[in-house]
Every structure is written in structure tokens, then in C-alpha cells.
Structure 1
Amino acid sequence: MNDTAIDYAGVFQALPGMVALLTPDLRYADANEEFLRVAGRTREQMIGRHLFDVFPDNPNDPTATGMRNLEASLNRVIATGKRDTMALQRYDVACPDRPGEWEERYWSPVNAPVFDTDGKVVLLVHRVEDVTELIRARGNPGGRTRVLEAELYTRARELQELNERLRQAHAREREVALALQEAMLSARRQVGHHRTAVRYRPAVGALNVCGDWYDVVDLVGGNRIGVSVGDVVGHGLAAAGVMGQLRSALTAVSRVAAGPAEALNVLGRYAHVVDGAESATVVATFIDFDHRTITYSSAGHPPPVLVHADGRVEFLDQATDPPLDARLAPVPRPQAVTTYTDGATLALYTDGLVERRREDIDTGLARLADSLRRHCTQDPEFLADAVLLELLPPGGATDDTALVIVRL
């Protein structure tokens, strides 16, 4: 299959998430079917019109800031040429069939640039997740679980259709898989003022991509972020597709879950309906910067490493459970809490960083702890590069590697 054989316009319209294209002067150039459906608008009501003529701030709410925040994010993308992930936004929408009425809505937007051959930003990709029902159900534990499961089951079916389409691109599997991995895993990530560094290194070999992933997300309420890494069994396009489904699901769940154990409980149920997600491993941490605590839960994943400010190394291994979908019936997962002081460093990673053939994994974990301890005073970006340089084989590893460093 070559480029001309793929109907990219059709793929855009069939994407299961809400995606729109904006011109640099913030006018709608296109919107996929899911965007139109969830927004309750027709193409005629959107295409060619200014973003904020279609979706203005609620004039009845003097505290409304959604328009101003979105405009600032889009202008940052134009100015820097870099992707911008926004915090959860309340952005009320006017009811098209009930003039004067506004519906309370919550959105999780991501904005990214599209360049021409000269490197100029010519379009903006505006991807949005509507998490209104998740937010509304947050105060009702039973309702929250039902809403999350219904939302995730629906997403599973939709994303499985996209994954099946991608499987058909056999001749370009390596290129498509790696492009998919790189698109979902941004090269750098900053959350608020917190210093983080993220890295992904694909495996050497014919497919050159597996199912490792990471995510760093702002959490609702307080000065908190969620940091997670995961690993899907398998290689190539199928693993990359499953990775994308699990990562997207955990991102959505983490924003409203009471803790990482609850997030992994729901993710485990979601994994049960995703082909290829069985035995995937993941560790999730919720970092509370106000109280200086790390709450964590692991589904069969290597333990995060916490290097305290005094150089003491702590492996976060007190809440370890089997991988996703490993049990016949779901059982609540454990979680644990540890404390830290300013200047500590947290590292999350996948097994490609520490596992080597014919070598006990404890040897790799000790090697990682030693590298982190020796470089822990360095900036997270330098520290991440130093760890990869010291732990990965010179010719590249046979398994891909994800790494997240957070300065606490």
C-alpha cells in the first residue's frame, strides 16, 4: 500500500475523537464527524467561521475563561510551533435549538501545529475530549463507575475499528507504527511549573516500535499531577494501537479518579474488552505537591524509583498487583503512599531500561538506582539523558524504553 492508496480525508472524518482544523486566524478549516456530533453543530455553522463566533464564552457567567484560555493556547502553538496540552476547561456551549440557553460542559483540549515545507504553521489541530459526564458523576461513586465504564466501553469499540484499519497497512507497518507512537508520545512535557523530562527510545529491529508509553497529566483539584508508564505485550502496529487506547483511557480516568488504584481498577475493566491488552503492565502515581506525598499503584510493572534529597533511594514497591486483565474476576487493586522533601527526584520507566538477557532484573534495578543517585542533583533533562546513556546498550536495546523524570 502506498500513500495514494490511503484516503486520509476519510480517515480524518472517521477518527473516534473530536478533531478540528483551524487556520492561524482561528477560523474553522474542517471538523470531523465526531466533533460535529458532540458539539451539536453542522458543517455550515462552523466551516469558515471564527472559533469564538461559533463557541463564545457564556455571557451569563462573568467568571468564564474558556475562550481566553483556549485563545492563549492556540497563540502559543503558533508562536512556538510546539504542541500545547491544556488543563481541564469548563467551556459552556450555547444550545443551537434553544436560543439563550447554555449547557455546562467540560473539555480536555490538545492543540498542535501543522507546518508547510518552509516550517511555517499553516494549520492548527484542535483535539478535544468531552469529559462532562465524568465530572458530573464525580461526586457519586456508583454513578461515577457506571459512567466511566460506559464511556470506556464505547471508546474501546470505536478505537478497535481504527486499530483494525491500521492493521491493514502491512507494507508500511514500521513507518505507520513509529509515526503513531511519536504522535501520541510528545518529545517534551511540562506540567505547570513542575520540572519534568520524558524520553522514548524505540527498540532496534525490523519493526522498531513496541507498546511502551508514558503520560503526565494535570489532576483535578489541588496542586497535583498524575504520572504513569505502561507496557503492552507485543510489537509493531498492533501493540502501538493498543498502547494508544490504554494511554488515552488512563488519561481520562486519572482526571476524576479518587486515586491511582481506582484508576487502574477501571483501566483493568477496559483492558478486558480491548484485544491485545491482556497482560499489559502499568504503574500510576498521583503526586501531591502541597502535601509532598506520592500515592501509587502498580499492575505488574517495575517499581518507580524515588531518590530523596539526601541521596537515599526508595523503590516504590508496596502496592504491586498482577498485570491488567490477569484475573478472571476484577479485584480492587492496592495503593500505597510515601512522602518526600523538596529536591527529591522520581523516576518511572519501562522494563527495556533495566532488563537484559541472561541477567537478573535486580542487577538492572541496582544499576538504575546507582545512575539516578549519582546524577540526581542535575536538571531532569540532563538526568534523563545520562540514565539512558549509561543503561542502554551502545547499539540500542531489543525492547523499547520509556522514561519519565520528575523533580519534586
Structure 2
Amino acid sequence: MSAFPIDYAAVFQALPGAVLLLTPQLVIADVNEALLRRAGRDRSQLIGRPLFEVFPDNPDDPDASGMRNLRASLERVVATGASDTMALQRYDVEARGRPGVFEERYWSPVNAPVLDAEGRVRLIVHRVEEVTDIVRAGLGAHEGDRERLEAELYTRAQDLQEVNDRLRRSHAQEREVVLALQEAMLPAPGPVGHHRAAVRYRPAVGALNVCGDWYDLADLPGDRMAVAVGDVVGHGLAAACVMGQLRSALSAAIRVVGGPARALEVLGIYARSVDGAESTTAVQAVIDWTTHTIAYSSAGHPPPALLHPDGTVELLDGATDPPLGARPEHVDRPEAHAAFTDDAVLVLYTDGLIERRHEDIDVGLARLAEALTRHQGAGAETLADALLAELLPPGGATDDAALVIIRL
């Protein structure tokens, strides 16, 4: 919280740049004073009206493209939830008090989303800087070269648009590579001993938002199973590569050391040599069906959930420690144990399943517990599908989600 109360409505009106707030349906929700001055309009003429009804293209200019280009940019923002910087635009504006008379105007627009707690676009910030005087100065310097200069401006705008298109295609290709890499490193597991787990991985929406979430299961000597989930900070191919290294290291460590805490200590030491591994979170658990106990340790990760046969949910938060690399020196990690009875369910997951912007994590944990209790009798596969359907935002999450469910 700020030490001083801030009137953000007053700040919005005082911004020197011209700004419109639009709904996803492209209706004007608010406008600041700078925009009103540049557009020559009153608030009553704008608020609540469709954008392109107020600012149409010049009907006498067959080459007018400002409205088409702006609509395409705004629709990209709604579809992707990402900002879009437009190339220089000629977008003529109807003169104040002179209906049907359009003035030649040039603008440099940027469109940015305002997301809600579920990651959905609730508003679009449309900011424009008018560059009409600069363009006219260049045109006026050599009036005879007006057509050539206008053509050059148009060509540069088209070049910028092509660059934007190439970047979007490149981002889409990177997403495909990352997802293929994730799928190769996170295969659907077969039976571990005589036990079977349900696993799910859901990538975030958006070309660059695929992250470094992982899960791992391992059969241990005796009637025991090791299960882990982790989350690398960052996005894209780099995060996926770090994920692969850490997943492999933890999978090897849990097979040779004395338990979950020691495995995470080994992983922490290894992570110091891996660029991009800092602040990774992970939780490692070992299920022992002979003693009916779960040993676990967490490196800054959301707590596993243990659904008991009576429908109560126990959060395994008794051995929580900072993420990897958070301490400058080695400190032994804690380890805790929880008892279970037959037909209980153990759930491990990454924060993309429960966390929402501007929402306390306890709200997400409570939402998870309620869903588990409601589906208490479901099989592992059915429960996994139900949790994803109920807990992830309808339009897709802005963070990855990994999920492991084991009926004990």
C-alpha cells in the first residue's frame, strides 16, 4: 500500500498523454482531458458510445485505413491479453462543429489490456500521441515532395506492421517448440509399482507465456512412490530447458538420498550452477504404503493437499522453506510426515491452478479444498479433469498449471 492516498481518477485525468479506456466490445468507458483536447470533443459525446461510431474513417477518402488498423490492433489485445504497439497511423478526425469535414491527423498509438483476477481482459487502455505537426513540418519543407513523403510514411508503416506480424509468427513458433519440449519431458506415466497416478499439464494462454512447470513420479524400493512438482521462474524456451535440468536432477536425487528434504538440498546445490534456476519452487513427497505415511518437504511451493475419506482436506504445510537459491549459504531443509488411510487422495500442483491476480493465495487454497471435498468419491482421472474445469479461468490461465493426483 502507498503511504499516501492516491486519487487515481484524478491522476488519469491529469495524464499528459491522450488516453481512452475501452471495453472489450470497443465501447468508450472513460476518457482523459488530454484526449478531449486533441479530439475536440466533450465527454458527453464519447462516454458510452462505440469507438468507431464516434471516430469513423473519412468517407471521402477511399484509401482511409485508420479505423481498420486500429480495430485489428484492439481485437489482438482482447484475443491475446498482450499489449500492441501500432505503427504510425493517419487517422483523420471530424472537425469540431463542422459535421462531415475531416481534418488530416497523424497518431502514434499503443493499446494495452487491463486484466481481471482470472486473467481476462476487462478494459483496454488506448493511448495516442499526436504527431500531426511533426509530419506536416516534414511535408511542408518540400511541398512538391508531399506525395513521395506520404508514400514513404505509408511504406514505413507497412514495414513496421510486417515486423509485428513476423514477431507474432515467431512467438507462435516458439510456443510450439516449448510445448513439444514440455510434452517430451512430461509424458503420461504408466503404473508406478501397482499404483497409478493421474497427471495433467495445461499451458498458459499467449504465445510467450508457456512456463517451466513440471511433475515427476518414481518407483522406490519397498511399497513406496516418490512424487514431485516444481515451477521455474520465467517463460518460454529458456524456462522449459531449465525445467528439464531440474526435473532430471531431482528425479535422480530422490532415488539415492535419504528422503525429500535431502533431495531438495541436493537440487538446491545443483541449481546454483544452472542459469535461470534461481527462485524455482518445488515440493517432493515420498508415499509409503507399508507405514501409511507421507514424508514431504517444500522449497517455497504451494502445499500438497491430502483429501481424507471423510471429505476433510489437510494442507501439508509443515515443512515449508524458501525457494531454490534464496539463501546465500546452505541450511538443512525441513521434513514433515503425515498419516493417511486407505482411499485417501494426495494432490500436488503448481500455483497456476490456484493463484489469481489481486487475490490472496488462501482464497485459491480454499477453492481447491472445496472442489476436492465436492468430488470426494471420484477416481483419479475424473478428479483431475474436474479440478482443471472448475479451478482454471474459462478463457485460459495466464500461468501454466501442473497437477498430480494419487488415490492412496
C-alpha separation in 1, matches of 2:189 and 2:375: 20
8 Å CA contact 2:219–2:226 kept in 1: the answer is yes
Deviation digits for residues 173-217 of structure 1, max 9, x if unmatched?
Answer: 222111100100113442122131000000000125210000111
What is the CA distance between 1:280 and its match in structure 2?
0.1
What is the CA distance between 1:261 and its match in structure 2?
0.2
Aligned to 1:180: 181
8 Å CA contact 1:284–1:297 kept in 2: the answer is yes
What is the CA distance between 1:284 and its match in structure 2?
0.3
8 Å CA contact 1:268–1:324 kept in 2: the answer is yes
8 Å CA contact 2:313–2:373 kept in 1: the answer is yes
Residues 209, 190 of structure 1: alpha-carbon distance in 2 compared, 3 angstrom cutoff: farther
C-alpha separation in 1, matches of 2:351 and 2:209: 16
C-alpha separation in 2, matches of 1:366 and 1:190: 30
8 Å CA contact 2:172–2:207 kept in 1: the answer is no
Equivalences for residues 82-231 of structure 1 within 5 A: 172-219=173-220, 221-231=221-231
What is the CA distance between 1:286 and its match in structure 2?
0.4
8 Å CA contact 1:189–1:197 kept in 2: the answer is no
What is the CA distance between 1:170 and its match in structure 2?
7.9
Deviation digits for residues 117-157 of structure 1, max 9, x if unmatched?
Answer: xxxxxxxxxxxxxxxxxxxxxxxxxxxxxxxxxxxxxxxxx
C-alpha separation in 2, matches of 1:385 and 1:239: 26
Deviation digits for residues 301-321 of structure 1, max 9, x if unmatched?
Answer: 000000111112100000000
Helix, strand or coil at the partner of 2:256? coil
- Runs of 5+ in structure 1 lacking a partner? 1-168
Helix, strand or coil at the partner of 1:255? helix
C-alpha separation in 2, matches of 1:386 and 1:257: 35
C-alpha separation in 1, matches of 2:223 and 2:397: 37
C-alpha separation in 1, matches of 2:189 and 2:337: 27
8 Å CA contact 1:230–1:280 kept in 2: the answer is yes
Deviation digits for residues 224-279 of structure 1, max 9, x if unmatched?
Answer: 01000000000000000000000000111111111000000000000010000000
Helix, strand or coil at the partner of 2:352? helix
User: Which amino acid letter does the alignment assign opposite residue 343 of structure 1?
Assistant: D
1:263 and 2:263 correspond: yes
C-alpha separation in 1, matches of 2:404 and 2:372: 12
What is the CA distance between 1:351 and its match in structure 2?
0.3
C-alpha separation in 1, matches of 2:396 and 2:189: 21
Aligned to 2:349: 349
Count of aligned residue pairs for this structure pair: 239
8 Å CA contact 1:189–1:198 kept in 2: the answer is no
Aligned to 2:324: 324
Equivalences for residues 381-392 of structure 1 within 5 A: 381-392=381-392
C-alpha separation in 1, matches of 2:268 and 2:336: 18
User: Which amino acid letter does the alignment assign opposite residue 247 of structure 2?
Assistant: R
What is the CA distance between 1:362 and its match in structure 2?
0.6
User: Which amino acid letter does the alignment assign opposite residue 378 of structure 1?
Assistant: A
C-alpha separation in 1, matches of 2:326 and 2:188: 31
C-alpha separation in 2, matches of 1:288 and 1:318: 18
Deviation digits for residues 338-391 of structure 1, max 9, x if unmatched?
Answer: 100000000000000010011111111000001011112111000000000000
C-alpha separation in 1, matches of 2:235 and 2:172: 15
Compute the TM-score of the two structures, normalised by the length of structure 1: 0.57
User: Which amino acid letter does the alignment assign opposite residue 272 of structure 2?
Assistant: H
Helix, strand or coil at the partner of 1:274? coil
Aligned to 1:407: 407
Equivalences for residues 287-302 of structure 1 within 5 A: 287-302=287-302
**What is the RMSD of the two structures over their aligned residues, measured on CA atoms?**
1.3
C-alpha separation in 2, matches of 1:211 and 1:383: 24
Aligned to 2:245: 245
C-alpha separation in 2, matches of 1:272 and 1:259: 21
Aligned to 2:7: none
Helix, strand or coil at the partner of 1:266? helix
C-alpha separation in 2, matches of 1:311 and 1:170: 44
C-alpha separation in 1, matches of 2:185 and 2:376: 28
Helix, strand or coil at the partner of 2:404? strand
User: Which amino acid letter does the alignment assign opposite residue 177 of structure 1?
Assistant: V
Helix, strand or coil at the partner of 1:225? strand
C-alpha separation in 1, matches of 2:190 and 2:363: 30
1:279 and 2:279 correspond: yes
C-alpha separation in 1, matches of 2:306 and 2:344: 7
C-alpha separation in 1, matches of 2:272 and 2:302: 22
Same amino acid, percent of matched pairs: 70
Compute the TM-score of the two structures, normalised by the length of structure 2: 0.57
8 Å CA contact 2:287–2:295 kept in 1: the answer is yes
C-alpha separation in 2, matches of 1:265 and 1:171: 37
